[in-house]
Chain A
């Protein structure tokens, strides 16, 4: 990221999710969280998978689509104050590798969760809702759109 050096970008959100090692770290964090849930004695396999999916979707929703501006404290002086983290990634370009990756991960988790919940209908509804929360705001058509002015300011 080279924050503070002469040639740096003043907003690290533009690039940090695409920097070296971030994707593998992300996958590892999801896996470790999943194994921790699996090791809780009360939870069935199905519950552990659904929880993994729901927690992952909710956390990424808040991290990428609710948080605005530059939480990592940079000298960019509030230029991105009105943009969510997702909208800042790769300077707002669509279908970049980072954005594709971040869209595919929740879908894969959903499919795995479907399999491990034995295609139970209640789990399906909950998981699909969570997936929608995570994936719908990532659509290029919704770039900069604030439905019902939610999170507008």
Chain B
């Protein structure tokens, strides 16, 4: 007989087991009989029933009686400040270089119409002719009967204008970057973000569910520190690092501070630490650079160095919507993953042709960009001379933030003071607006300021007049130093 290795246990015969069953202890058999009875009960005597409601009829009626419906609209007194502001800020006609508020004509320093494209008769005529051909709406999202030839033309035009392979058109400027970020960055990925970015980027970061690492505004040392930290972490856990995407998100020209990102340094860091770079150019597109291409042209950097450029068409271009541009394989990803692109009706065709026309005008006359920069510098110089106020941002930025030199502890007091200055200026013919924020939602709330935007069409006289009036308003409102 072959020997069985010792680690193999001996097998049992069925006979032994039946013997064991016959000699089984009574407690064991008792349990088994109970269990078998339970099976019988389950199979033959248990009726299916739905669980009863936790509440009795009486309790339900009590709850219904207790319930007090809230009013559908809140009870607002007639002299509520918001209502008053709405009455006060009624605008007639087009908000171009001049704007009619109430019955007063003011120089418009409030809307972000840097090149005067909103209200430009050539652009308007183009939009009207498209309106006559296509009607108002596009009647659907891009992937669902909403694509018209003009959308493709605009995308082509934008790609050409930005010297990139492809551009994708969104129908809302805010949603552009807010959709683009979560299209690429997901849960578990890391985003390095400047802490002075505007609200639409912040919403994109939230939607991405990624890990956000904030670096100090335009502080490249701080950014490098975070990148080093990340690379050390990655070395510790290379398996995790392999599936983690890393992004840098910056604004080209910051809406909230009016300064420009240090792009060459960012690109250096991007290649050094292997991070993808997203740049939001809503306020630099059509503003910076000799032909209006934005920050890349301003620093004379190739657009290919940046993985994704997003910009709104609602500022310098004076239309509506926004676009992203970059490499074809990067941009095409958004056609199925950009939520704002997939699930929102496409840009009304007339706004698309208006944007095309605006781009054409910029190409035909790049001089308007030179004018704009000259005007920006002039306004900056004039505003910095005002006592008690401080101008934040680059001189060539078309957005100036006029802050109080001495900030009060109480934010609302500052806002009131600035509002008084704005009101005073408007009485005398300059329309100003405060930079407004959803204060509880902002990542890092900027100091209160008057947001002055510059138009390329302003003449020297108008600039002088504006600066004088703002200066007068400040003097009238700010307390005199003893």
Contacts and interface: CB of A to CB of B under 8 A. Distances in A.
A72 interface: no
**Complex A-B, nearest 4 residue pairs according to Cβ-Cβ distance, in ascending order:** A118-B20, A119-B24, A95-B46, A44-B9
B43 interface: yes
Interface stretch (A21-29, A53-61, A106-114): A106-114
B121 to A, nearest CB: 50
Contacts of A95: 42, 46-49
Contact of A119 (B20, B46, B51): B20
A104 B424 CA distance: 83
Contact of A94 (B20, B31, B48): B48
Nearest to A121: B25
Contacts, number: 67
Given A42-B9, A94-B49, A107 B38 contact: yes
B51 A94 contact: yes
Interface in B8-63: 8-9, 11-12, 16-17, 20-21, 23-25, 28, 31-32, 35-36, 38-39, 42-43, 46-51
A149 B47 CA distance: 30
Interface in A67-111: 91-96, 100, 103-104, 107-108, 110-111
B67 interface: no
Most buried by B among A96, A103, A111, A118: A118
A69 B119 CA distance: 55
A119 B9 contact: no
A119 B42 contact: no
Nearest to B9: A44
A96 B24 CA distance: 34
A17 to B, nearest CB: 15
Interface residues of B, number: 28
B39 A107 contact: yes
A61 to B, nearest CB: 18
Contacts of A94: 46, 48-51
A108 B39 CA distance: 9
A96 to B, nearest CB: 5
A143 B51 contact: yes
A118 B23 CA distance: 9
A37 interface: no
Contacts of B48: 93-96
A110 B32 CA distance: 9
Contact of B42 (A42, A104, A128): A104
Contacts of B38: 107
